[in-house]
Chains A and B, each alone.
Chain A
Amino acid sequence: GNSVTQMEGPVTLSEEAFLTINCTYTATGYPSLFWYVQYPGEGLQLLLKATKADDKGSNKGFEATYRKETTSFHLEKGSVQVSDSAVYFCALSPSGGSYIPTFGRGTSLIVHP
């Protein structure tokens, strides 16, 4: 079956540090890949997505590249802010645009001033 593995958290960084949150997946075919963010007290929000190999999704300074050869979709940001503190979820949607996503367990990011 499909699965998503994320690095354990929490990830604790100082403001302006470089961020990487690792995500690897197992799926048949060519899934679409997503990063969602959950700010404290709010619902999950789509952060970025990539639908095919070598695509790069980007939003709000965050980036992730769909690497089929390593089945990875690592999230990066060059300079984090305190306001980036949240839980980040990697997810996949199977080939064919199925509406049923598989989520990773989430990685908490804490950014200190």
Chain B
Amino acid sequence: GAGVSQTPSNKVTEKGKYVELRCDPISGHTALYWYRQSLGQGPEFLIYFQGTGAADDSGLPNDRFFAVRPEGSVSTLKIQRTERGDSAVYLCASSPLGAGIDEQYFGPGTRLTVT
């Protein structure tokens, strides 16, 4: 079946603009995760959803970052007033209910460039 998909694959925006990044998880997966991968670094956890609610948003760097998952499927990561330091690859992963991290399936990522 289809894997995790993310759109767009690339996004270039100007400093100060608002962006939305979309993640379509694997059908039936209840858990959804967002990570940020800066150049030359490993993925860093941002936020975790179980169903529609954010179970853990401790990784969000500041209040410019927000994520939603209104129907428990598709999720959108929203970044307000973008800064050049937000440039990174944003990864999404999903997993079945109760799964550990070894059952997280990752999407290909969205590369965000803030100019």
Contacts and interface: CB of A to CB of B under 8 A. Distances in A.
Given A44-B91, A99-B31, A99-B100, A105 B105 contact: no
B88 interface: no
A103 B56 CA distance: 18
Given A43-B4, A44-B91, A91-B42, A101 B101 contact: yes
A49 B102 contact: yes
A45 B93 CA distance: 10
A99 B33 contact: yes
Given A43-B4, A91-B42, A106-B42, A97 B106 contact: no
**A contact residues, range:** 20 to 34
A100 B100 CA distance: 9
Interface in A5-47: 32, 34, 41-46
6 contacts: A4-B42, A43-B108, A43-B109, A93-B100, A100-B59, A103-B43
Interface string A79-113: 00000000001010100011111011110000000
B106 A43 contact: yes
Contacts, number: 60
Contacts of B100: 32, 93, 97, 99
Given A32-B100, A93-B100, A99-B100, A43 B105 contact: yes
DSSP majority for the A interface?
A: loop
A42 B4 CA distance: 11
In the complex, the 6 A-B pairs of residues with the closest C-beta atoms, listed nearest first: A103-B42, A43-B106, A44-B106, A101-B101, A93-B101, A43-B108
- Residue among B44, B93, B100, B107 facing the most chain A CB atoms (10 A cut-off): B100
Interface of A: 4, 32, 34, 41-46, 49, 89, 91, 93, 97-101, 103-106
B54 to A, nearest CB: 13
Nearest to A41: B108
